[in-house]
Structures are given as C-alpha cells and as structure tokens.
C-alpha cells in the first residue's frame, strides 16, 4: 500500500487555493480549446505551454494536465451538438451522439459522454496509480514487431465494418496511407512522393488534414443545407444526469471493455483515436442489435468516449515512465517537463516523488472538478448556437486557419487545409467514409516503419510476428478480427445445424 500513502501525500500537495484555482482555469481553457474546432488538445496545450514557464513544476503540470482533461471533455460537446468533432478522437462520438441530439436527447448524450469520459479516465488513473512500475516494464516488451501487430489490430478491427460500399472504404484507407507516406521515409532516409516540392518534404500533418476534412468541410455542408447549424441546445438538469447514471450499470460490459481497450492502447502508443474507434466498433460488433448503432444509441456514446479518455490518460504513463509520449498531447507535455528541468524516465518516479504523485493526484481531482464544470456549463458553451451562423462561420474558419498554421508555422498548411476541406465535402457527399482516412493518416507511417524495422531485425522473415506469445497473440487476434464476418457466418451456420435457435455471442 505504499502507493496509497504516496497518493495521499500527493493530495496534500495539491490542497492549496492557488493550485485549485489553477485547476479550474486550466479546465475552462481546456474546454474552450476543445470546443473550438481546429484548436483541440495538442494545439491548445502547445499554445498554453509558455504560460506555465514561470510556475513551479507541480503547479505547471497541474494546469497543463487540466487543460488536457478540459480538451478531452470539450471535444464531446461540439461532436454531439454540432456534429463537428473538436478532436480527432471525438469522431466516433458523433456517430451516435449527434443522432441522439437530433432526437432531442442532447442532454442525455452529453451526460453520457461526460460520465463515460470520467469513468474512462478514472480507470486509467487507478491503473497508473497501482501498476506504474509493472506497466513500465511491460511497455519495454514492445519492439517493432509488437508495435506493428498493434497497428495491424487497429486497422483490422476497422475493415469490413462500415455501412459504406467496401471499395469506398478501401479507397479511403489507401489514400490515407499514401498521404501518410509523403515526405521522408525514416527507415531508408529517402524522399518519396514529394515531386521536388519543399512543402511536401515535411509530409502532410494529420492535424492539418483533420482540420480541413472536418472543420472546413462541415461549414460547406452546413451552408448547403437549410440553414445553418442545425444544433441542439441542451440544458442538463439534475434529473437527466441521475437518469443516465441509473442506467449506467446496464452498460458495464461496454464500459469495462472500452476502459481496457483504452488503457491498453494508451500505454502502447496506439493513441486515443484508435482507441475510440476500436471501442465503438467492438461495442457494435458484440451488440445484440448492431443495426441500431449510428442511429442514436447511448451505448454508441459510452463506448468511444470511455475508450478515448482511458487512452488519453493512460498515454501519460509511458511518457512519465519511459519518456515515450503515447499521444500528440503527451509529446507536448513531455516538452514541458524538460523545460521545468525534469527528465522523464524510470528514475522520475524515484527522484521526483512530489511531482509524480502530485500529478497523479491532480488527475483524480481534475476529473472530478472537470465533471462538475462541464455538467454545469454546457448551456454556456452550447449558447454559441444562438449566435447567427453568419458570424460563427467566419470565426470557425479563422480558428481553423490559426490552428492549421500554428502546427508547423507554414502558410502552405493553410492551403492544404482548404484543399482537404473540399476533399472532405466531396467525399462526404459521395459516401466515401472519412474515418478510415483519418486513421490511416495517423497510424500509416508508424505502422510501416514498425513493419520494416521488424523485417530488418528478423532478416526479412515474416515469422517474427509469431515469434513470442505477446506478438503472436496480437497478430492472430488482428487476423481473426479481419475475417470476423466470415468466421461469424460459419459459426452461425454450424449453430443452425445443431440447434434451431441461433446462438448469440
């Protein structure tokens, strides 16, 4: 129970008015950047990082991580009310969240999203608290083959799920992977697909693509339809909250599954985005009624939000324990740690106990305070809807442009954003799904690098993906998931022969 004592010490460090008020400021700023499409978590944290340079490390990390929690919470608001994912990991939340809002259940959807965010983070924080030393050694087991197997699993859990025509999913994923490959190939050090352009040299940043695909294209689509933002104001009453909470135990399997996926993907740097999609897809796959997903099912909000937040939180663990950031935002926090003179690594837990346990304690407090803040301030943030669209639209365009530019300080990225806006508009209208495209953009080059490093390490033998229990299990699981529709059909057929009633799994 050493961890418990240390945690209590951590709480004691935090219990000052200064730190609590920094926490609230951080959360509100975070929700704000999470709500604005195109700002989002990594950008917001990056932009606000310099604010903390003059603070002591504990206050600084508390404020920054609260911005991070706030952004995680805030991303859900626009996804549900506006169908605009403020964050890439909120994309899966729109699938059922927005339909719910359309059916007049915005308050339920938001409560569900916030509550499941809270649950996801809490599970991950508890995991960090009690498993930190063990997990850092588990993370060390991940070499190139293991990383590739995880990416493969993410891709496979995706293929064959969408309602769209298969060739369109293939187009979307292949295009995303190709775009991810533009620029310098790390493994060989050669340039490819740059056509001699300086701007393509650095590759296409996925955040720029996401801002264009979702932010700009949404404005074009919204404008085209009958008016403006067909949004939903939500006033969350205590009754709605209690009603959703009463229902929670019914979904414990979904919540648990998503938490596990999230923690796991966060620790192995698969990222919150992959986790949210995987959580959603698995909830749908194992549901008794998969058809109702995408039409406003509360489980479709629970699943991705829990997974995304569990993953977003768990991503901090490899950052602290190993110095490997599990997500884009974690990478920025890592930069912050070094500014404050703290070197992330296995020794951080030994040498900077105050800091580490202060941070972990702030995760608990930040989430509780955050939940209260979002539940009470939704009407404020949702009131953006009351502002005429003609005023909101150009402001969103400006925020998107600032966001796209700030990532790499490149004017070219603003043009790219515009281009991706048009691509997103056309793709949405002709039914090419955008989610596989986003996923491929994020994970594409990492998956390729991992594969090629694994090949170099094994001397070109594919057997390396079954060379030990860990990698073998993941790879086999990935391939099983890929062919799941076939396997499922075979099972059903067999079951029908033995019994007249179909077996549900």
Partner 1 sequence: MSNTDLEIIVEDPTAPEDDSPSVVSTRTVEIIASLVLLALAIVLGFDNWRTGIAWDSTGPQPGYFPFYLSVILGGASLYGLITTFFARSGSSDTFVTRAQLRRVALVFVPTALFCLATQFLGIYVASFVLIAGFMRMVGKIALWKSLLTAFVFTAIMFVTFDVAFDVIMPKGPIESALGR
Partner 2 sequence: MSKSIRATAALAAVFASAPILSLATSPATAWEPTKPVEIVVAAGAGGASDQMARMMQAAIQKNNLMKAPVVVSLKGGASGAEALIYMKSSEGDANKVLIAYSLIYMLPLSAKIPFNWRDLTPVSVVAMDQFVLWDNAGGAKTVKEFIAAAKAASSPFKMGGTGSKREDHVLTVFMEKQTGAKFSYLPYKSGGEAATQLVGNHTEANVNNPSENLEVWRAGQVRALCVFDKERIAYKTKVTETQSWNDIPTCKEEGLDVQYLMLRAMFLPGKVTPEQQAFYVDLFEKVTKTAEYKDYMEKQALKPIFLKGPEMLKFLEEDDALNKSLMTEAGFVAK
Interface residues toward partner 2, by CB under 8 A:
50, 53-57, 139-144, 183-191, 198, 201-203, 205, 322-325, 331-332, 334-335, 338-347, 351-354, 408-409, 449, 453, 456-459
Token pair 């075979």: residue: 490
Question: CB of residue 9 vs partner 1: minimum separation in angstroms?
Answer: 33
Q: How far apart, in Å, are the Cα atoms of 69 and each of 74, 145, 342, 414?
A: 8, 32, 22, 28
What is the length of the chain?
505
Q: Which does 331 bind (CB under 5 to 8 A by kind): partner 2, partner 1, none?
A: partner 2
State which of positions 132-191 bind partner 1 (CB under 8 A): 165, 167-168, 170-171, 174-175, 177-178, 181, 185, 187-188, 190
The interface partner of residue 167, options being partner 2, partner 1, none and the CB cut-off 5 to 8 Å by kind, is: partner 1
- Residue 411 found at the interface with partner 1 (CB under 8 A): yes
SS3 461: coil
Pick from partner 1, partner 2, none: which does 374 bind, CB < 5 to 8 A by kind?
Answer: none
- How far from 382 is each of 18, 32, 110, 235, 393, CA to CA, in Å? 29, 11, 11, 9, 15
Phi, psi of 16 (to 5 degrees): -125, 155
- 14, 354 contact by CB (below 8 A): no
**3-class SS of residue 159:** coil
The site string for partner 1 over 95-124 (x = CB under 8 A, - otherwise) reads ---------xxxx-----------------
368 binds, among partner 2, partner 1, none (CB under 5 to 8 A by kind): none
Indicate the residue among 28 and 319 with the shorter CB distance to partner 2: 319
DSSP-assigned states of every residue in 301-355: HHHHHHHHHHHHHHTHHHHHHHS--SSHHHHHHHHHHHHTT---STTHHHH-HHH
Q: Are 197 and 203 in contact (CB under 8 A)?
A: no
- List binders of partner 1 among 220-239 (CB under 8 A): 220, 223-224, 226-237, 239
Collapsing DSSP states into helix, strand and coil, what is residue 183? strand
Binders in 13-52 for partner 1, by CB under 8 A: 47-48, 50-51
- Burial class from Cβ neighbours inside 10 Å (0-12, 13-18, 19+) for residue 20 reads middle
CA distance 149 to 146: 5
Q: In DSSP terms, which residues pair with 190 in a beta bridge?
A: 185
Residue 376, contacted partner among partner 1, partner 2, none, CB below 5-8 A by kind = none
Choose, by CB under 8 A, the member of 18, 163, 192, 489 that binds partner 1: 192
Q: Which among partner 2, partner 1, none contacts residue 126 (Cβ within 5 to 8 A by kind)?
A: none
Least CB distance to partner 1 at residue 305 (A): 19
Shortest Cβ 412–partner 2 spacing (Å): 11
Contact of residue 142 among partner 2, partner 1, none (CB under 5-8 Å per partner type): partner 2
Under the binding rule (CB under 8 A), the answer on residue 246 touching partner 1 is: no
């Amino acid at each position: 129970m050493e961890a418990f004592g240390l945690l209590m010490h951590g709480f004691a460090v935090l219990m000052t008015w200064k730190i609590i008020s920094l926490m609230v400021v951080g959360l509100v700023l975070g929700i704000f950047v999470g709500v604005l499409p195109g700002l989002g978590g990594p950008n917001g944290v990056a932009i606000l990082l310099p604010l903390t340079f003059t603070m002591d490390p504990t206050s600084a990390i508390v404020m920054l991580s609260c911005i991070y929690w706030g952004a995680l919470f805030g991303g859900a608001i626009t996804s549900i009310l506006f169908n605009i994912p403020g964050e890439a990991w909120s994309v899966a939340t729109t699938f059922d969240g927005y339909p719910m809002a359309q059916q007049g259940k915005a308050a339920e959807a938001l409560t569900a999203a916030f509550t499941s965010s809270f649950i996801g983070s809490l599970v991950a924080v508890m995991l960090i608290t009690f498993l930190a030393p063990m997990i850092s050694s588990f993370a060390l087991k991940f070499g190139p083959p293991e990383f590739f197997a995880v990416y493969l699993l993410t891709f496979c859990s995706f293929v064959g799920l969408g309602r769209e025509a298969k060739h369109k999913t293939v187009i979307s994923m292949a295009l995303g992977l190709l775009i991810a490959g533009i620029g310098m190939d790390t493994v060989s050090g050669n340039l490819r697909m740059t056509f001699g352009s300086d701007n393509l040299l650095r590759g296409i940043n996925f955040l720029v693509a996401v801002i264009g695909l979702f932010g700009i294209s949404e404005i074009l689509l919204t404008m085209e339809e009958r008016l403006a933002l067909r949004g939903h104001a939500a006033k969350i009453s205590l009754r709605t909250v209690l009603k959703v909470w009463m229902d929670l135990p019914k979904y414990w399997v979904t919540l648990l599954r998503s938490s596990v996926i999230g923690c796991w993907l966060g620790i192995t740097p698969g990222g919150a985005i992959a986790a949210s999609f995987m959580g959603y897809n698995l909830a749908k796959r194992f549901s008794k009624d998969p058809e109702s997903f995408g039409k406003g099912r509360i489980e479709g909000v629970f699943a991705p939000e829990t997974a995304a937040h569990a993953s977003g939180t768990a991503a901090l663990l490899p950052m602290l324990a190993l110095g490997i950031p599990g997500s884009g935002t974690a990478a920025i926090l890592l930069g912050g740690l070094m500014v404050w003179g703290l070197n992330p690594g296995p020794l951080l837990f030994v040498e900077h106990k105050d800091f580490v346990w202060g941070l972990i304690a702030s995760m608990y407090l930040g989430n509780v305070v955050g939940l209260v803040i979002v539940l009470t301030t939704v009407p404020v943030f949702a009131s953006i809807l009351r502002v005429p669209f003609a005023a909101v639209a150009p402001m969103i365009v400006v925020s998107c442009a600032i966001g796209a530019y700030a990532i790499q300080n490149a004017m070219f990225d603003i043009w790219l954003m515009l281009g991706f806006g048009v691509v997103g508009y056309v793709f949405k209208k002709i039914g090419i799904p955008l989610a596989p495209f986003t996923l491929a953009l994020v994970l594409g080059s990492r998956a390729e690098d991992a594969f090629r490093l694994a090949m170099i390490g094994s001397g070109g033998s594919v057997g390396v993906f079954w060379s030990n229990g860990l990698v073998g299990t993941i790879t086999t699981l990935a391939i099983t998931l890929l062919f799941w529709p076939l396997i499922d059909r075979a099972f059903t057929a067999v079951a029908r022969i033995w019994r007249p009633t179909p077996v549900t799994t």
